[in-house]
Structure 1
Amino acid sequence: MTIEAVIFDIGNVLIEWNPERFYDWTLGRAEREAFFAEVDLHAMNDAVDAGAPFRETVYAWAERHPDWAAEIRMWHDNWIDLASPRIEGSIALLRALRLRGVPVFALTNFGIDSFAYAQTQYDFLTEFDQAFVSGHMGVIKPDPRIYEMVEADCGVAPGRLLFTDDRADNIAAAQARGWQTHRFEGWQGWARRLVAAELLTEKEAGL
């Protein structure tokens, strides 16, 4: 089936997202492991991604866990260090698709405030034809509702969407809706998938 639009996840597709690595650098691995075992930071982040205010949510968690308050606040105060670096090969593919006139969307678990801030740091986050951001939608992947909302808004039939994401559960949820998918494990594999779909030539894909 002909692909009419390509959908990119952002974290670990266009930007590396590895909070554990950041805290390993700042605290050391042993202390980071103790910290993460005691405080469920990913649950905190899910709340932000579902629409809770970024700073207020993080700082409220810091107040609830005074032994780790300074470290928790770093999730907000040093956030761009958690969400970096850029994945240049994927950014080049996004731009190559747009040069070919292929509609390119984002579908991302991202907070309202953190996404707005990220757009000031990463120019390519303003280049999507449409950006579907969980914080604004009030639901996060892999909940089926978020995929339904994308379909309704973009007007493209599920089978004509090609979606890449690094997480197997997000991919499985998209497949259940009938989307074409690619599990992202590196920009080169994604490039080959786009070439196989005849959306880019090998040269355009940087291969």
Structure 2
Amino acid sequence: MTVSAVVFDIGNVLIEWQPETYYDRMIGRSRRERMFDELDLHGMNDRVDRGENFTEVVQDFAAENPDWADEIMMWHDKWIELASPAIDHSVRLLRALRREGVPVFALTNFGKETFAIGEMHYPFLEEFDRRYISGHMGVIKPDPRIFEMVEEDCGVAPGELLFTDDRPDNIAAAEARGWQTHHFEGPEGWATRLVAEGLLHREAAE
């Protein structure tokens, strides 16, 4: 089926998002493992991605868990170090698609405030034709509603959207809506898929 628009996830597709790796560096792996076993830090982050205020959520969570308060506040104060580095090959693919005139959208679980921080550090986040940011939408992937909202806004038929994401649950939710999908496991495989779809020439995908 024809692809009329390409939809990128951002975390672990365009920007590495591995908070555990950051904490391993800062507090050591064994302490990090204990921290993540005791605290639902990703659940805390989901609240931000649904639109709650970043600072308030993290400060409240730190106050509720005083034994880990300093470490929890790193999630806020050093957030850009958790969300780094950019995945350069993926960024090149984004830009190559746009040079070819292919509409490119972002669909990402991201807080309102954290996305604004990301924009300051990663200019390519401003280069999409359309951006669907969960914090502004009030719903996160893999909730089917977020995919429905994209369809309603962009006007592209579900079967003509090609979506890449690193999480299988998000891929499954998109497929259930009739989207074409690519499970992102690295930029090389994504480049191969874009070439196979006729969206990029091999040279442009490198």
TM-score by length of 2: 0.99
Identical pairs, percent? 67
Counterpart amino acid of residue 68 in structure 2: W
Mark the runs of 5 or more structure 2 residues left unpaired by the alignment.
none
Provide the C-alpha distance between the structure 2 equivalents of 1:125 and 1:67, rounded to a whole number of angstroms: 36
Q: How does 1:1-207 map to 2 (within 5 A)?
A: 1-206=1-206
Provide the C-alpha distance between the structure 1 equivalents of 2:71 and 2:186, rounded to a whole number of angstroms: 30
Q: CA deviation at 1:201?
A: 0.4
Provide the C-alpha distance between the structure 1 equivalents of 2:25 and 2:176, rounded to a whole number of angstroms: 39
Provide the C-alpha distance between the structure 2 equivalents of 1:50 and 1:128, rounded to a whole number of angstroms: 21
TM-score by length of 1: 0.99
CA displacement, residues 11-58 of structure 1 (integer Å, 9 cap, x when unaligned):
000000000000000000000011111111000000000000001110
Counterpart amino acid of residue 2 in structure 2: T
Counterpart amino acid of residue 175 in structure 1: E
Q: CA deviation at 1:72?
A: 0.3
SS at the partner of 2:163? Answer: strand
Provide the C-alpha distance between the structure 1 equivalents of 2:73 and 2:39, rounded to a whole number of angstroms: 12
Q: CA deviation at 1:161?
A: 0.2
Provide the C-alpha distance between the structure 2 equivalents of 1:40 and 1:177, rounded to a whole number of angstroms: 30
Q: CA deviation at 1:60?
A: 0.5
Q: CA deviation at 1:200?
A: 0.2
Runs of 4+ aligned structure 1 residues displaced above 4 Å come to none
Provide the C-alpha distance between the structure 1 equivalents of 2:187 and 2:43, rounded to a whole number of angstroms: 28
SS at the partner of 1:204? Answer: helix
Q: CA deviation at 1:140?
A: 0.3
Mark the runs of 5 or more structure 1 residues left unpaired by the alignment.
none
Provide the C-alpha distance between the structure 1 equivalents of 2:35 and 2:191, rounded to a whole number of angstroms: 38
CA displacement, residues 113-152 of structure 1 (integer Å, 9 cap, x when unaligned):
0001100110100000011000000000000000000000
**How many residue pairs align between the two structures?**
206
Counterpart amino acid of residue 20 in structure 1: E
RMSD: 0.4
Provide the C-alpha distance between the structure 1 equivalents of 2:34 and 2:204, rounded to a whole number of angstroms: 46
